[in-house]
């Protein structure tokens, strides 16, 4: 009886170990290989839409040259829509006092870490103060 329990216990430990190794491999592939392949396809595609260099730096340069301080919020969002679907995640009033911030996520890629995430700071009148790309590699 004891031998049967030991064999079942060994099989359970082996199955659990294989499950753990498999989970680690799937996570590794998703977080590295899939992200790299997605980046190699997606970022040049986004850059082509606006005739920018096919890098995250090229996209950031385009943003900083095209979306300028003083621009109305609606104008800035229209430019950002060229990159893909725009999701304004939050509007925080009084951040710092006299300003509000939009956290903008542009879902253009399949891997979530390759999507564009942007902070845009506006005056209370809705005029752009500054903009920055958060996920610049």
pLDDT confidence of residue 78? 92
- 1-33 per-position pLDDT tens digit: 667 667 888 888 898 999 999 999 888 877 888
The larger pLDDT score, comparing residue 41 to residue 97, is at 41
Q: 132 pLDDT band (50/70/90 cuts)?
A: confident
Res. 136: pLDDT tops 60: no
Number of domains in the chain: 1
pLDDT at 137: 52
3-state secondary structure the chain: CHHHHHHHHHHHHHHHHHHHHHHHHHHHHHHHHHHHHHHHHHHHHHHHHCCCCCCHHHHHHHHHHHCCCCCEHHHHHHHHCCCCCEEEEEEEECCCCCEEEEEEEECCCCCHHHCEEEEEEEECCCEEEEEEECCCC
pLDDT reported for residue 1: 61
* Residue 48 domain boundaries: 3-133
**Percent of residues, the chain, with pLDDT higher than 90:** 13
Q: Tens of pLDDT along 42-75? A: 889 888 888 889 888 888 899 889 999 999 989 9
pLDDT of 75: 93
pTM (predicted TM-score): 0.69
Residues in Cβ contact with 43 at an 8 Å cutoff, skipping those fewer than 6 apart: 54, 55, 56, 59, 109, 114
């Amino acid at each position: 009886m004891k031998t049967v329990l030991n064999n079942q216990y060994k099989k359970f430990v082996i199955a659990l170990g294989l499950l753990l190794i498999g989970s680690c491999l799937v996570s590794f592939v998703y977080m590295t290989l899939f992200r790299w392949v997605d980046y190699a396809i997606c970022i040049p595609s986004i850059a082509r839409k606006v005739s920018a260099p096919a890098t995250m730096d090229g996209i950031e340069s385009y943003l900083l040259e095209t979306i300028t301080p003083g621009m109305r919020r609606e104008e800035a969002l229209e430019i950002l829509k060229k990159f893909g679907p725009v999701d304004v995640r939050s509007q925080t009033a009084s951040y710092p006092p006299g300003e509000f911030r939009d956290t903008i996520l542009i879902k253009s890629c399949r891997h979530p870490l390759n999507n564009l995430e942007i902070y845009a700071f506006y005056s209370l009148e809705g005029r752009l103060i500054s903009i920055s790309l958060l996920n610049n590699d």
